[in-house]
Protein backbone atom coordinates (compact mmCIF):
# COMPACT_ATOMS: atom_id res chain seq x y z
CA UNK A 1 0.00 0.00 0.00
CA UNK A 2 1.25 3.43 -0.82
CA UNK A 3 0.85 6.15 1.76
CA UNK A 4 0.89 8.74 -1.01
CA UNK A 5 -1.60 11.59 -0.53
CA UNK A 6 -4.45 11.94 -2.98
CA UNK A 7 -5.95 15.16 -4.28
CA UNK A 8 -9.74 15.49 -3.94
CA UNK A 9 -12.42 18.08 -4.58
CA UNK A 10 -14.92 18.31 -1.73
CA UNK A 11 -18.54 18.14 -2.86
CA UNK A 12 -19.97 18.66 0.63
CA UNK A 13 -18.74 20.30 3.81
CA UNK A 14 -16.46 18.02 5.86
CA UNK A 15 -15.74 19.15 9.42
CA UNK A 16 -12.06 19.86 9.89
CA UNK A 17 -11.27 19.50 6.19
CA UNK A 18 -13.12 22.13 4.16
CA UNK A 19 -16.18 23.32 2.28
CA UNK A 20 -17.67 22.32 -1.09
CA UNK A 21 -15.35 23.19 -3.97
CA UNK A 22 -12.16 23.11 -1.88
CA UNK A 23 -9.25 21.10 -3.25
CA UNK A 24 -7.66 19.07 -0.45
CA UNK A 25 -4.90 16.52 -0.11
CA UNK A 26 -5.69 13.58 2.16
CA UNK A 27 -4.19 10.17 2.81
CA UNK A 28 -5.13 7.73 0.05
CA UNK A 29 -7.06 5.39 2.37
CA UNK A 30 -9.18 8.18 3.86
CA UNK A 31 -10.11 9.46 0.42
CA UNK A 32 -10.65 6.09 -1.25
CA UNK A 33 -12.46 4.36 1.65
CA UNK A 34 -14.42 7.18 3.26
CA UNK A 35 -14.74 10.46 1.36
CA UNK A 36 -15.32 9.22 -2.20
CA UNK A 37 -17.75 6.31 -1.42
CA UNK A 38 -19.90 8.64 0.74
CA UNK A 39 -19.95 11.21 -2.09
CA UNK A 40 -18.31 13.82 0.16
CA UNK A 41 -15.54 14.29 -2.40
CA UNK A 42 -14.51 13.41 -5.94
CA UNK A 43 -11.08 12.67 -7.34
CA UNK A 44 -9.27 15.75 -8.67
CA UNK A 45 -8.27 15.76 -12.33
CA UNK A 46 -7.02 18.53 -14.59
CA UNK A 47 -10.42 18.67 -16.31
CA UNK A 48 -12.24 19.09 -13.03
CA UNK A 49 -11.19 22.73 -12.60
CA UNK A 50 -14.45 23.82 -14.29
CA UNK A 51 -16.44 21.71 -11.83
CA UNK A 52 -14.64 23.43 -8.95
CA UNK A 53 -15.70 26.83 -10.31
CA UNK A 54 -19.32 25.64 -10.67
CA UNK A 55 -19.39 24.23 -7.11
CA UNK A 56 -17.83 27.43 -5.69
CA UNK A 57 -20.25 29.71 -7.59
CA UNK A 58 -23.24 27.70 -6.36
CA UNK A 59 -21.86 27.78 -2.81
CA UNK A 60 -21.29 31.54 -2.94
CA UNK A 61 -24.84 32.15 -4.20
CA UNK A 62 -26.25 29.94 -1.42
CA UNK A 63 -24.06 31.41 1.33
CA UNK A 64 -24.94 35.02 0.58
CA UNK A 65 -28.60 34.15 1.07
CA UNK A 66 -28.05 31.57 3.78
CA UNK A 67 -25.89 33.58 6.21
CA UNK A 68 -28.92 35.66 7.21
CA UNK A 69 -31.08 32.53 7.00
CA UNK A 70 -28.64 30.69 9.27
CA UNK A 71 -28.66 33.48 11.85
CA UNK A 72 -32.47 33.52 11.76
CA UNK A 73 -32.58 29.71 12.13
CA UNK A 74 -30.11 29.88 15.05
CA UNK A 75 -32.35 32.37 16.87
CA UNK A 76 -35.39 30.13 16.23
CA UNK A 77 -33.48 27.12 17.58
CA UNK A 78 -32.37 29.01 20.70
CA UNK A 79 -35.99 29.45 21.82
CA UNK A 80 -37.06 25.83 21.32
CA UNK A 81 -37.66 23.19 23.98
CA UNK A 82 -36.95 19.86 22.38
CA UNK A 83 -38.27 16.71 24.03
CA UNK A 84 -37.55 13.26 22.71
CA UNK A 85 -39.32 10.18 24.05
CA UNK A 86 -37.63 6.84 23.60
CA UNK A 87 -37.55 3.39 25.16
CA UNK A 88 -35.30 3.08 28.17
CA UNK A 89 -34.38 0.27 30.54
CA UNK A 90 -33.45 0.17 34.21
CA UNK A 91 -31.34 3.06 35.46
CA UNK A 92 -32.31 5.37 32.60
CA UNK A 93 -30.16 3.70 29.93
CA UNK A 94 -31.63 3.80 26.44
CA UNK A 95 -32.03 0.80 24.16
CA UNK A 96 -29.55 1.99 21.52
CA UNK A 97 -28.83 5.70 21.22
CA UNK A 98 -30.53 8.83 19.91
CA UNK A 99 -29.61 9.38 16.24
CA UNK A 100 -29.16 12.66 14.41
CA UNK A 101 -32.28 11.75 12.38
CA UNK A 102 -34.27 11.47 15.63
CA UNK A 103 -32.99 14.90 16.69
CA UNK A 104 -33.86 16.50 13.32
CA UNK A 105 -37.39 15.04 13.50
CA UNK A 106 -37.84 16.25 17.12
CA UNK A 107 -36.75 19.77 16.15
CA UNK A 108 -39.32 19.84 13.36
CA UNK A 109 -42.07 18.51 15.67
CA UNK A 110 -41.19 21.30 18.15
CA UNK A 111 -41.82 23.89 15.43
CA UNK A 112 -38.21 24.46 14.45
CA UNK A 113 -36.66 24.68 11.00
CA UNK A 114 -35.97 21.59 8.90
CA UNK A 115 -32.41 20.49 9.65
CA UNK A 116 -30.11 18.30 7.62
CA UNK A 117 -29.12 15.42 9.94
CA UNK A 118 -25.54 15.65 8.62
CA UNK A 119 -25.25 19.17 10.08
CA UNK A 120 -26.08 17.93 13.60
CA UNK A 121 -22.96 17.10 15.62
CA UNK A 122 -23.31 14.83 18.63
CA UNK A 123 -19.98 14.76 20.45
CA UNK A 124 -20.90 11.99 22.90
CA UNK A 125 -23.55 9.42 21.91
CA UNK A 126 -26.84 10.03 23.72
CA UNK A 127 -27.51 6.78 25.58
CA UNK A 128 -29.24 7.97 28.78
CA UNK A 129 -32.39 9.88 29.66
CA UNK A 130 -31.95 13.46 30.82
CA UNK A 131 -30.69 16.69 29.32
CA UNK A 132 -28.10 16.65 26.52
CA UNK A 133 -26.49 19.30 24.31
CA UNK A 134 -25.77 18.96 20.61
CA UNK A 135 -24.46 21.51 18.14
CA UNK A 136 -25.83 22.27 14.70
CA UNK A 137 -23.64 23.69 11.92
CA UNK A 138 -26.09 25.94 10.09
CA UNK A 139 -23.42 27.75 8.07
CA UNK A 140 -19.59 27.85 8.09
CA UNK A 141 -19.84 30.97 10.29
CA UNK A 142 -22.99 30.11 12.28
CA UNK A 143 -23.61 27.21 14.62
CA UNK A 144 -26.24 26.74 17.29
CA UNK A 145 -26.38 24.66 20.45
CA UNK A 146 -29.53 22.66 21.11
CA UNK A 147 -30.68 21.49 24.53
CA UNK A 148 -32.47 18.15 24.16
CA UNK A 149 -34.51 16.58 26.92
CA UNK A 150 -34.61 12.79 26.51
CA UNK A 151 -37.42 11.05 28.42
CA UNK A 152 -38.44 7.42 28.77
CA UNK A 153 -41.64 6.44 26.99
- Which sign, positive or negative, has the C-alpha torsion 99, 104, 108, 110? positive
Write the CATH number for 111: 3.10.430.100
Q: Which residues pair with 42 in a beta bridge?
A: 9
Is the domain of 118 the same as that of 137? Answer: yes
Which of residues 13, 32, 67 is at a domain's end? 67
Is the domain of 108 the same as that of 147? Answer: yes
Distance CA 14, CA 40 (A): 7
Query: What is this structure's pTM?
Result: 0.59
Which of residues 33, 49, 67 is at a domain's end? 67
Is the domain of 49 the same as that of 95? Answer: no
> Tens-digit pLDDT profile for the chain (153 aa)?
456 899 998 888 888 888 888 889 999 999 999 999 998 998 988 878 777 777 777 776 655 566 777 888 888 888 788 888 888 888 888 888 888 889 988 888 888 877 878 888 888 888 889 999 888 888 777 888 888 999 888
Is the domain of 48 the same as that of 86? Answer: no
Domain carrying residue 128:
71-152
Amino acid sequence: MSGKPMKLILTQEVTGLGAPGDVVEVKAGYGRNYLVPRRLAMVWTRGSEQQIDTIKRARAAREIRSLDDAREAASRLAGLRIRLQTRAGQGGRLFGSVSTSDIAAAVQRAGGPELDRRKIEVTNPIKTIGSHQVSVRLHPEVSATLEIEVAAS
